[in-house]
Amino acid sequence: MATVKLSSGHLMPLVGFGCWKVDNATAADQIYSAIKAGYRLFDGAEDYGNEKEVGDGLKRALDEGLVKREELFITSKLWNNYHDPKNVETALNRTLADLQLDYVDLFLIHFPIAFKFVPLEEKYPPGFYCGDGDNFHYENVPLLDTWKALEKLVEAGKIKSIGISNFTGGLIYDLIRGATIKPAVLQVEHHPYLQQPKLVEFVQKQGIAITAYSSFGPQSFLELQQNRALNTPTLFEHDTVKAISARLGKTPAQVLLRWATQRNIAVIPKSNNPGRLAQNLAVTDFDLTEADFEEISKLDINLRFNDPWDWDNIPIFV
């Protein structure tokens, strides 16, 4: 399996299984099936609300000897309500308990946003709940304070690597100047409609690996209907992607995933279909041409689907 070496020294698979929107009722079976299909990286988060079920799937595979713990790479993410240093370990402990693991391989700050703390027994995961109905409330917690708490948990052996998600270049630039442990991974929305080339170049030059989420663009956010408002076809249906797909004898999904992995950007697609599970994993044994990359580069329209400005006018990407 193709891997990328992290600044922490650990190896992360270049292709994994994303747990976002995996239904609780089927999550355990999906994780188990993905392990049988050859997946070793599983990307989850506290906010996804399915870590208990994901953990059940992992435990089943481990108990049956399908895989050893050290062969798995498990990612989770610290949700916004737990940024205060005194709450970071509390949140991680809940993740570890739900996943039924002693450690996670990678733990990311999910968003550079500190919501007001909500006790686990009051609501978990809290989502956008900040203890006051639908009203947003925030805490004045600098990102470096949260990061320092994560560094201590690396030292304690509960986390192998730490990283960030949905961070901009300026925030990363500032964080690495105060960090003792450099971020190992940046996870961002990344697809041909949102390519962020300057961010990718800067981050990779810093020795920070990149994981792309929503590699299929609008396909992950159909309920938002933003693509229709902009009269933008799904990437599976775009003529450029379809032409490359036809020439290579690969699916549009495989072309989109190879577009990332060929540049050493990890991907975390998901599927409930055994055939597509296998296809999504087989995206490192063929190459796109320079001409393919040039054509795909023309698709960039800075179309972002996951934007906290839509939550409460939070200007992360402004």
137-191 confidence digits (pLDDT tens) = 999 999 999 999 999 999 999 999 999 999 999 999 999 999 999 999 999 999 9
Question: What distance in Å separates the CA atoms of residue 292 and residue 288, rounded to the nearest whole number?
Answer: 6
In a domain, 311, yes or no: no
Residue 48 known to be catalytic: yes
Residue 263 tokens read as 């540049």
Question: Would you say residue 279 lies in a domain?
Answer: no
Give the model's pLDDT for residue 224: 53
pLDDT at 223 over 80: no
Tens digit of each residue's pLDDT (9 = 90 or more) over 269-298: 998 888 999 999 999 999 999 999 999 999
Is 130 a member of any domain? yes
Tell me the two tokens of residue 281. Answer: 């994993």
**Is position 124 within any domain?**
yes
Q: Which residues contact 144 (CB under 8 A, 6 or more apart)?
A: 174, 175, 178, 179
**What confidence score (pLDDT) does residue 291 get?**
98
Residue that has been written with the tokens 């597509």 in this structure? 276
Largest CA distance in the chain: 55
CB-neighbour burial class of residue 1 (10 A; exposed 0-12, middle 13-18, buried 19+): middle
Domain housing 73: 3-216+266-273
pLDDT single digits (tens) 41-50: 999 999 999 9
The residues, ordered by sequence, that sit 6+ positions from 95 with a Cβ below 8 Å of its Cβ are 46, 51, 76, 104, 107
Structural domain includes residue 61: yes
**Cα 313 from chain centre:** 23
Domain harbouring 187, CATH code: 3.20.20.100
Question: Residue 248: what pLDDT?
Answer: 98
pLDDT of residue 274: 87
Give tens-digit pLDDT for 58-105: 999 999 999 999 999 999 999 999 999 999 999 999 999 999 999 999
Can you list the positions of beta strands (E) in the chain? Answer: 3-5, 11-13, 17-18, 41-43, 73-78, 104-109, 159-165, 185-189, 209-213, 265-267
Residue 116 lies in a domain: yes
Is 149 part of any domain? yes
CA 67 to chain centre: 22
The answer to whether residues 123 and 63 touch, using CB atoms and an 8 Å cutoff, is no
pLDDT tier, 233 (very low <50, low <70, confident <90, very high otherwise)? confident
Mean pLDDT of the chain: 95
User: What are the tokens at 216?
Assistant: 């299929």
Marked catalytic residue, from 39, 48, 193, 213: 48
Statement: residue 218 has pLDDT above 90:
no
Reported as a pLDDT band with limits 50, 70 and 90, residue 226 is: low
Q: Over pLDDT 70: what percentage of the chain?
A: 96
Residue 86 falls inside a structural domain: yes
User: What is the structure's pLDDT at 5?
Assistant: 98
- The count of structural domains within the chain is 1
Q: Report whether 110 belongs to an annotated binding site.
A: yes
- pLDDT, tens digit, 9 for 90 and up, residues 3-62: 999 999 999 999 999 999 999 999 999 999 999 999 999 999 999 999 999 999 999 999
